[in-house]
Copies of this chain bind each other. A is one copy, B any other.
Amino acid sequence: MDNNAVKQWIHSQETQAVRLLQKLVQEKSVRGNESKAQAVIVEKCRELGMELDIWEVEKKEIANHPFFRCDREEFQGNPNVVGVIKGKGGGRSIILNGHIDVVPEGDESAWNIDPYSGEYLNGKVFGRGSTDMKGGTVALLLAVEALRENGIELKGDIIFQSVIEEESGGTGTLAALVRGYTADAAIIPEPTNLKMFPKQQGSMWFRLSIKGKQAHGGTRYEGVNAIEKAVIVLKALQELEQKRNEKVADPLYRSIPIPFPINVGKIESGKWPSSVPDLAVVEGRIGVGPDETMEEVGKQLESCLKKLSDYDNWFEHHPVLLEWFGGRWQPGSLEPDHPFLDVMEDAYQDVFGSDPVIEASPWGTDGGILSKGGNIPVIVFGPGTTEAAHDANEYIEVPKILLAAEVIASALIKWCEVSDAIDQ
């Protein structure tokens, strides 16, 4: 077994990696439309000799799971894909998990190129999903292919997963877990810009309905403007965020300005410029620390809203309605001395000759489902950057895909161990 040969082989695969990533980006796998991109994955998995499991998620099979959170009715035609390479036995197994779904392209006029062109320019592939996270998935497949091409067989199993629904709360990964897929560790190559995230922030979406009292704008003093009341609620949310973040002592969050942000992402109120609006609806997400539970964080927000009448008497008789809706991402946490973190750090050292940056992710991933739901140690590590994700002109640097693949290949060798059978 020649570690250097593996690295060199990966290094030679730039053209092939770009081509695979372009094919994946060109299939617009927004929610409900994942099948064609999954077909590209399946073709590649077949080429790699994986045992394939392709199935449509059945809501009834997972609906009772405490982590289930999904408003999608229909999964038909858009399967989850798992490809397994059985080890020779006696080694630790690993899950390599990537999500195939992408968020919508947003305002198309903000893009300089067709969001689904997969254009390759100056070492970057552009397009929705390139960084989040089809580039990461290409890195996973490249790592697996590198072992195969170099005749390396492992003792432990590799369980490659290409899942749906990550962007909407993780139903794809949850379905794979409930179907029985587990392992001794997992890598999720979300865009960490080659940093290692042994901890991931979770998050929950909330909706607040804030009441006012209608009136004609010319006699606005006869009404109560729901927008003015919403401003008070926003201030209370800021104070809650501050209070929650003052307490964070985890050194992994040392360099993060606000470890667990409360983000107000949406407000809507009123229909007519000269009427006093009687309802304001605010939607946002609240970050959940790796060592917190969703329940306790939910209670903190509830209690913050209950105290609003201390600021303004109006809320005593017009309490804000709180709804938990839509997406919900479990936080994840790996103890700092876990052997899988050691292995990942060593693998990084092999490739870069230096220690990786270890941080905690500022966003939720499917890692929380694997770690909290399946007790699987998870590290999030991948090419691509948070800044590029979800934005117009999303892109990924191809050299970083190759570097990530090198680290992952090295980690596979260290974690799952090379089978003696191979040295014949």
Residue contact A219 to B283, C-beta cutoff 8 Å:
no
Of B220, B265, B269, B387, the residue contacting A266 (CB under 8 A) is B269
In the complex, how many residues of chain A place their beta carbon closer than 8 angstroms to a beta carbon of chain B?
Answer: 55
Residue contact A203 to B274, C-beta cutoff 8 Å:
yes
Residue contact A274 to B327, C-beta cutoff 8 Å:
yes
A217, A228, A231: residue with the most chain B Cβ atoms closer than 10 Å: A217
Give Cα A390 to B270, complex, Å.
14
- Residues of B with C-beta under 8 A to A164: none
Known: A205-B273, A234-B227. A363 touches B216 (CB 8 A): yes
Residue contact B266 to A271, C-beta cutoff 8 Å:
yes
Give Cα A275 to B287, complex, Å.
13
- At the interface, yes or no: A267 with Cβ under 8 Å from chain B? yes
Residue contact A217 to B231, C-beta cutoff 8 Å:
no
A114-122, A148-156, A178-186, A255-263: which one contacts chain B?
Answer: A255-263
A221, A266, A387: residue with the most chain B Cβ atoms closer than 10 Å: A266
- Residues of B with C-beta under 8 A to A227: 234, 264, 267
Known: A214-B391, A231-B234, A283-B270. A277 touches B258 (CB 8 A): no
- Residues of B with C-beta under 8 A to A225: 263-264
Give Cα A265 to B203, complex, Å.
32
- At the interface, yes or no: A6 with Cβ under 8 Å from chain B? no
- At the interface, yes or no: A341 with Cβ under 8 Å from chain B? no
- Residues of B with C-beta under 8 A to A271: 106, 265-266
Q: Mark A95-118, 1 if CB is under 8 A from B, else 0.
A: 000000001001000000000000
- At the interface, yes or no: A389 with Cβ under 8 Å from chain B? yes
List, sorted by A's number, 8 A–B pairs whose CB atoms are closer than 8 Å.
Answer: A106-B271, A203-B217, A206-B273, A216-B390, A218-B263, A221-B258, A266-B269, A266-B272
Instruction: Given contacts A216-B363, A263-B275, A264-B270, list 15 more A-B pairs with CB under 8 A.
Output: A203-B217, A203-B218, A207-B273, A215-B387, A216-B390, A219-B261, A221-B257, A221-B258, A222-B387, A265-B270, A265-B276, A267-B269, A273-B284, A273-B327, A274-B285
